[in-house]
Amino acid sequence: MTTKPFRFGVVAAAQGGAAQWRETARRAEDLGYSILLSPDNLHLPTPTAALAVAAAVTDTLRVGSFVLASPLRTPRAAAWEAHSLSVVTDRRFELGIGTGIPAMREAAAELGLPYGTGAERLAQVADTITHLRTLDGAEHTPVLLAAGGPRARRLGGERADIVTLADKPLTSRADFAAHAAEIRAAAGDREVELAMNVFVVGDEAPPWIRSFIGADAATLREHDSLAILPGDPAAAADELERRRAEYGVSYVSVNGAFLTEFAPIVARLSGQ
């Protein structure tokens, strides 16, 4: 298993006005995060617009969608947005894409687009990557694929640069290890960066996170969940090193609610 250096991202939405969003981007860069990630939600500013602003007010911070839901755009339109953002950010953009959570059915209907079957939505992801590679030409916009099922893990291994394991919060470590192995097997000789998202750092989960993932911090700890990390920086760093050794995960994103709390771990492990 190839061991890649650690890098860290923070997932945040452009809420609270333009000034607050610019400050979030600058703060993420100052704290040593590699990338600022923005979700795809019709009730929030579109991630491509928000990320263009974030890149404009920072110098080295990368930006990425986390993740574009394939039913909300045609593959060619999604590729156009991604390539355009890659160009205007001087190649600091990473396209995160996936088939979307179930709530995207209503969002697609609002846009007048079909939601499609799981296979059709995954085919849209593959088509988006194909269109993006054509638009990029000699350049290469990194693609992160959110993989929650076996077909997505296979596609991620075969086509993506980064695969984030979108397992359920209470997925066992044994199952997570098996899923990571599926991606590596599909990748063959290709180098694929493995990633995961952490929802909670420390002892408490904000109410909206509890609602979104369907579990509180105590439940996550009881199930030895990979969706939570201890608040103590040394213990969290040890746990992330364990995850890299056991699963190959070197790219870790954290919810924006823990931007400051997670910063000591970023400082301790980035590039290591």
The values of phi and psi at residue 67, to 5°, are: -130, 160
pLDDT at 3: 80
Question: In this predicted structure, what is the pLDDT of residue 2?
Answer: 65
Is the separation of the CB atoms in 58 and 31 below 8 Å? no
Considering its fold, how many domains does the chain have in total?
1
**Predicted pLDDT of residue 110:** 97
- Is residue 2 in some structural domain? no
* Exposed/middle/buried for residue 81 (C-beta within 10 Å: 0-12, 13-18, 19+): buried
Q: Residue 260, Cα to own-chain centre: how many angstroms? A: 19
Amino acid making up residue 240: L
Q: Are 138 and 158 in contact (CB under 8 A)?
A: no
Compute the distance between CA of residue 234 and CA of residue 43 in angstroms, rounded to an integer: 37
Element (H, E) at 21: helix 18-30
Which distant-in-sequence residues (6+ apart) come within 8 Å of 267 by Cβ?
A: 31, 32
- Let me know if residue 145 belongs to a domain: yes
Q: How far is CA 17 from the centre of its chain?
A: 23
DSSP helix, strand, coil percent of the chain (3-state; round to 5)? 50, 15, 35
What's 140's domain CATH number? 3.20.20.30
Residue 1 inside a domain? The answer is: no
Structure tokens at 50: 């928000």
- The string of DSSP letters for 128-171 reads HHHHHHHHHTTS---EEEEE-SHHHHHHHHHH-SEEEE---TT-
Residue 172: which domain range?
A: 7-269
pLDDT of residue 66: 98
Q: Which helix (H) or strand (E) holds 266?
A: helix 263-269
Any domain includes 228: yes
Q: Is there a domain that residue 159 lies in?
A: yes
pLDDT along the chain (272 residues), means of 10: 89 94 98 98 95 98 98 98 98 98 95 97 98 97 98 98 97 98 97 97 92 94 97 97 98 97 97 94
Distance CA 118, CA 191 (A): 26
Domain membership flag for residue 239:
yes
Burial 238-251 (b: 16+ CB within 10 A, else e): ebbeebbeebbbbb
